[in-house]
Amino acid sequence: MKGKNNNALRVGLFVFMIFALVATCFQTAAVADTKGKTWQWYPSTWQPSGVVWDRLVYISDFITRASGGRIKVTPTAPGMVCAVPEQLDAVATGATPAMVIYTDYYSGKMPLLSLTTNPLFLLNNTWELRQYIEKQNDGRILSLLQEELAKYGDVHVVGPTYYVLQMVMNSKAPIDGIDKIKGMKFRSGDVPVANALGALGASVTWSPGEEIYTNLSTGVIDACTYCGPADSIAMGFHEVAKYWLRTPLMGPVNVDYFVVNSKVWNELPDDLKAVVEAAVAAGNAFAEFQGFADNSRAWAKAEELGVTIVDWSEEDILKWEATVASFLPDYGKDAASKEAVEVLKSYLREFRPDLAKEILKE
């Protein structure tokens, strides 16, 4: 009996060794298949200049150099590979290997995506946004995003790419309190902001960015929300709107996502996957530094140009955020987005109990 057991053990060990050898051969063959291969990526983003574009250039250069040219990444201006609204589909179908996408552009296809950026612009810095996306409820937002995009097509999410935005409310007359919004004519293209302005009694319209200066100067609008201080100066808003509301910053930080076609990602060896992941992490540090530096210089320059910078009281800031957040129930449109709303509520309870008490009535 003992001899039979020993024989069985020997046979089992032999079979195990055969499986191990075969697995090793397959692994060696896979490495051999990609050893001399190079990949060509042409990622784009939604903005052709500023910190969003500079971050893409930084990440592309990092990947190309750190991979020893095995992945050659050429940053491409928006629209050259495909239209911005088609970037997600291009990756999902394999038409292009990689993109940096702003997920809220595609929330009409997947309601969850509006909650994977800065939901209702309630998060005030990169730490808060990272906590919500990557940490809260065991990083559920990032997991949900990967799950939903995988259902949509062959999309692998390498990671979030954060940036400092600091959207300004530019106005012709001082808006030094929340009560001054009522009756004003605004241009705003961001739904959470436009909803809140309307709820507070303003009339809100939309127009292309290149028309804002003229509309302000001719009185078609009294104020606008469009961009941060550096872009506001570049567009000449200081000439026709001398009052800039700095706090509450509407959308002080935001996030895009570096995505790669899943088939392309899966054929990369582990060392190159690590290179791409490290490049995204380094790009976040770069964007944080550059965004902060650019905005700091711009605020100082705005004052030199005669702009009056306005800050609201803590009480008015809380009222504004509560108005924005009052639309939160509208965001839970399917199972995934409803779960994301609960993650946001969990974040607010833990880190913003004052706001949670105001909007969740707890």
90 and 149 together in one domain: yes
318 and 287 together in one domain: no
176 and 46 together in one domain: no
157 and 181 together in one domain: no
Average pLDDT over residues 109-114: 94
247 and 267 together in one domain: no
* Ranges 150-164, 220-234, 241-255: which has the least confidence: 241-255
Distance from C-alpha of 181 to C-alpha of 192, rounded to nearest angstrom = 15
Calculate what percentage of the chain has a pLDDT beyond 70.
90
Q: Which residue has the higher pLDDT, 41 or 28?
A: 41
323, 196 in Cβ contact below 8 A? Answer: yes
- Give the pLDDT band (50/70/90) at residue 209: confident
317 and 226 together in one domain: yes
The answer to whether residue 16 sits within a structural domain is no
Distance from C-alpha of 183 to C-alpha of 270, rounded to nearest angstrom = 58
The answer to whether residue 275 sits within a structural domain is yes
Q: What is the pLDDT of residues 155-167, one digit of tens each?
A: 999 999 999 888 8
Q: What is the pLDDT of residues 18-37, one digit of tens each?
A: 334 433 333 433 444 567 89
Average pLDDT over residues 107-119: 93
99 and 147 together in one domain: yes
pLDDT of residue 49: 82
Cis omega (within 30 of 0) for bond into 248: yes
- Extract the runs of DSSP E, i.e. beta strands, from 143-291: 155-164, 169-171, 185-188, 203-205, 223-225, 243-247, 253-261
The answer to whether residue 267 sits within a structural domain is yes
The CATH number of the domain where 199 resides is what? 3.40.190.170
102 and 194 together in one domain: no
- Give the pLDDT band (50/70/90) at residue 358: confident
**What SS3 state is found at 89?**
helix
- Give the pLDDT band (50/70/90) at residue 253: confident
- Structurally, how many domains does the chain consist of? 2
Q: What is the pLDDT of residues 313-328, one digit of tens each?
A: 999 999 999 999 999 9
The answer to whether residue 7 sits within a structural domain is no
In terms of residue numbers, what domain contains 343? 169-251+308-360
315 and 275 together in one domain: no
**Which H or E run contains 349?**
helix 335-351
Does 95 have pLDDT greater than 90?
Answer: yes
63 and 198 together in one domain: no
pLDDT of residue 208: 86
Instruction: Map tokens 């509407």 to a residue.
Output: 250
Q: What is the pLDDT of residues 65-90, one digit of tens each?
A: 999 999 999 999 999 999 999 999 99
Does 187 have pLDDT greater than 90?
Answer: yes
Task: Give phi and psi for 274, each to the nearest 5.
Answer: -65, -35
Mean of the per-residue pLDDT values of the chain: 89
Does 9 have pLDDT greater than 70?
Answer: no
pLDDT of residue 47: 85
Supply 330's token pair: 């509208």
Domain's final residue, options 243, 265, 294: 294
Closest alpha carbon to 122 in 310, 318, 311: 318
Distance from C-alpha of 43 to C-alpha of 98, rounded to nearest angstrom = 5
**What SS3 state is found at 156?**
strand
The answer to whether residue 142 sits within a structural domain is yes
246 and 179 together in one domain: yes
152 and 86 together in one domain: yes
